[in-house]
Amino acid sequence: MEIKKTFTEKFKNRTMQGLFWILPIAAILMIIFWLYEKIDLVVINILNLVGINPQNNEFLWIIGVLAVFIFILYIIGYLIKTQLAFYVESLFHDIPGFSTIKDIIDIFNSSKEGDSKVLVVAIRGFANEGYNIGLMYSQKESIIKDHYTITLSMTPIPNGGYMFEVHKENIFVIEHAKFDDNLQYLLSMGVKSIREILKVEAKNIDEMQTLSEWLEEHQEEAY
């Protein structure tokens, strides 16, 4: 029998869904506006030094700010892959919380580098019937032979969860699903299914690629 929720419960749930939907957008916008403000001051000072009044050259001022902003983002993105980034990180390594924040950022960065970095998978065996949807942040074999580490995230706050060692024959790769798709699924608290997010038809489990097949396919691609 379905239990009807009160108006207060519905209002609370909808409010929480709205909050967790808008938080990442708000955080990104705050960082962008902060950077833009700092770069704006730098460009204004540079234009004043060369004898150009920003107020009389508004178009040139906007183009200058955008150009510097994009250039700085490119340089930072480039330096992340160099040895210089390692030395900078080593200076902050002992600061409490830095390593944890860096690991979280690395997860997001790795999720943008290809399907082989973060896999969205269906796992058999965590309930009497059915499957769970989880993430594989690495495709390295566990200390237990033929087992791989799977993370099951919590909802609606996906920065917590549980890790399990699962046999590869019980892991099925969800084709074309990415980290961001799983995050959207978690934040919706199941209101949106993975099928709806990916805009694909439902499949039988035997139609899905097992992790064993996925590993074999990508090993062949590596050679």
pLDDT at 61: 73
State how far the Cα of 137 lies from the Cα of 170, in Å rounded to an integer: 17
Q: Is position 2 within any domain?
A: no
Closest CA to 104 of 91, 83, 118, 116: 118
Looking at residue 5, its pLDDT comes to 63
Beta strands, E only, 119-197: 119-124, 131-136, 147-153, 161-167, 171-173
Together in a domain, 12 and 66: yes
Final residue of a domain: which of 108, 133, 161? Answer: 108
**Are 120 and 99 in the same domain?**
no
Task: Name the DSSP letter for residue 132.
Answer: E
139 neighbors 119 (Cβ within 8 angstroms) = yes
| Both structure tokens of 53 | 């009044």
Say what the pLDDT of residue 1 is: 41
* Percent helix, percent strand, percent coil in the chain, to nearest 5: 55, 15, 30
Query: Per the structure block, which two tokens stand in for 88?
Result: 């900078």
> How many domains are contained in the chain?
2
Full residue range of the structural domain in which residue 186 is found: 114-222
Whether 181 and 153 map to the same domain: the answer is: yes
**Residues 148 and 203 both lie in one domain:** yes
Cα four-point dihedral sign 187, 188, 194, 200: negative
Q: Do 202 and 217 fall into the same domain?
A: yes
Q: Which of 51, 85, 108 is the last residue of a domain?
A: 108
Angle (CA) 91 93 99, round 5°: 145
As a three-state string, the secondary structure of 79-116 is HCCCHHHHHHHHHHCCCCCHHHHHHHHHHHHHCCCCCC
Are residue 83 and residue 148 in the same domain, yes or no?
no
pLDDT recorded at residue 106: 59
Q: Which residue has the tokens 């909808």?
A: 14
Domain boundary among 46, 79, 108: 108
Do 162 and 184 lie in one domain? The reply is yes
Same domain? For 146 and 205 the reply is yes
Q: Please report the pLDDT score of residue 115 as a whole number.
A: 42
Residue 205 lies in a domain: yes
Both 12 and 99 in one domain: the answer is yes
Give, for all 223 residues of the chain, the pLDDT tens digit: 445 567 777 777 777 767 666 766 777 778 778 877 887 787 777 777 777 776 676 777 778 778 887 887 777 777 766 666 666 666 666 665 556 556 555 555 555 554 446 888 998 876 667 888 888 888 888 899 999 999 888 776 666 678 889 999 899 999 888 888 888 888 787 788 888 888 888 888 888 888 988 888 877 554 4
